[in-house]
A and B are shown apart, each in its own frame.
Chain A
Amino acid sequence: MEALDVARWQFGIVTVYHFIFVPLTIGLAPLVAIMQTLWNVTGKDHWLRLTKFFGKLLLINFAIGVVTGIVQEFQFGMNWSEYSRFVGDVFGAPLAIEGLAAFFLESTFLGLWIFGWDKLPKKIHLACIWAVAIGTNLSAYFILAANSWMQHPVGAVFNPETGRAEMVDFGALLTNNTLVAAYSHTISTSLLVAGTFVAGLAGWLMVRAARSSELDLARTVYRPAAMLGLITIVLAGVGVVVSGDYQGKLMYEQQPMKMSAAEALCVGEEGASFSILTIGDLSNSCEGVRHILTIPGVTSYLGTGDFNGYLPGVQDIQAQYAAQYGPDVDYQPNLAVTYWSFRLMIGFAAGSAALALAGLWLLRKGRITDKAWFARLCLVAIPMPFAAASFGWIFTEMGRQPWVVAPNPTGPELIRMLTQDGVSTSVPVGEVLASLLTFTALYSVLAVVWFTLMRRYAALGVAPAPSDEPDDGSEDSRPLSFAY
Chain B
Amino acid sequence: MQKQPLAAGRPEIRGDAPTKASGRERFAADCYPDNLIWAGAVRAGVPHGRLQAVDSAAALAVPGVLKVLTAKDVPGPNRHGIIHQDMPVLADDRILYPGDAVALVLAESREALRRAIKQVRVVVQPLPGVFDPEAALAQGAPPLHQEFADNVLMAAEIRKGDALQALTACAVVVDGEFSVPMQAHVFLETENGIARLEEDGGVAMTVSTQSPFRDRFEVGNALGIPYHKIRIVSPHLGGGFGGKDGATVQCLLALAALHADGRPVKMQWNREENLAAGYKRHACQLSYQLGAKKDGTLHALHCQLVYDTGAYAHLGGEVMELGMEHAGGPYRIAHTLIEGKCVFTNNPVAGAMRAFGVCQPTFAFESMMDLLAAKLGMDPLQLRLRNALVKGDVNCAGVRLTTSTDIVGCLEMLQSHPLWRQREAWKRQAPANTRRGVGLAAVFNAAGYGGKVRDAAIAKVELSPKGAIVVHNAVADMGQGNASAFLQIAGHILGQDASRLRLRHPDTTTAYPSGSSSAGRTTYTFGNALIRACEELRARLINRAGLLLAVDSDRDVRLVPGKVIHPPSEREMPLEQLAAFMPQEDRVCISQFVAPICEQVPDTSKGFLIGFPHVIFAYGAHLARIEVDALTGAIRVCDYLAVTDGGAVVNPCMFDQQVQGGVAQGIGYALMEEVATHEGAVRSGDLATYLIPGALDLPDVISCAFQGREESGPFGLKGVGEVALNGPLPALANGVADACGVRLRQAPLTPERVLAAREAQQCI
Q: Do A and B come from one complex?
A: no
- Which B positions have Cβ atoms within 8 angstroms of A? none
